Amino acid sequence: MVSRTEWLGYCLGKPGAWQDEPWEGDVVAKVGDKIFAFLGDGTAIGLKCGDRETADLLLDRYRGAASKTAYIGQHGWNTFTLDGTIPADEMQELIDTSYQLVVAKLPKSKRPA
């Protein structure tokens, strides 16, 4: 099973990614000034999944290991458990997608090279 620290390292390995703690004890990975991964307490990771319809498909695919993220779920964010239920390669794809979706919304001047 991949640890929270390893997932954080994977997130921070993305071009232009950096770690922030906007709320005490809640670590996030950002690109530009936007969050693409909520790592919180380390038991789960919150990721942008596209629109709500796309995010709902992932809830079905990862039933029991995924849930709609509180407060921002209506905007296509899901939370995925980090207990090994979701294979590491699929978790990497979810992180990659979240990163790409957030980068695409940044102004061109703030996108990583």
Cα dihedral 1, 65, 95, 99, rounded to 10, equals -160
Domains identified in the chain, total number: 1
Residue 12: which domain range? 4-110
* pLDDT tens digits for range 34-88: 999 999 878 999 999 999 999 999 999 999 999 999 999 999 999 999 999 999 9
Q: Read off the pLDDT band of 25 (50, 70, 90).
A: confident
d(CA 19, CA 38): 10
Q: For residue 36, what is the domain's CATH number?
A: 3.90.1150.30
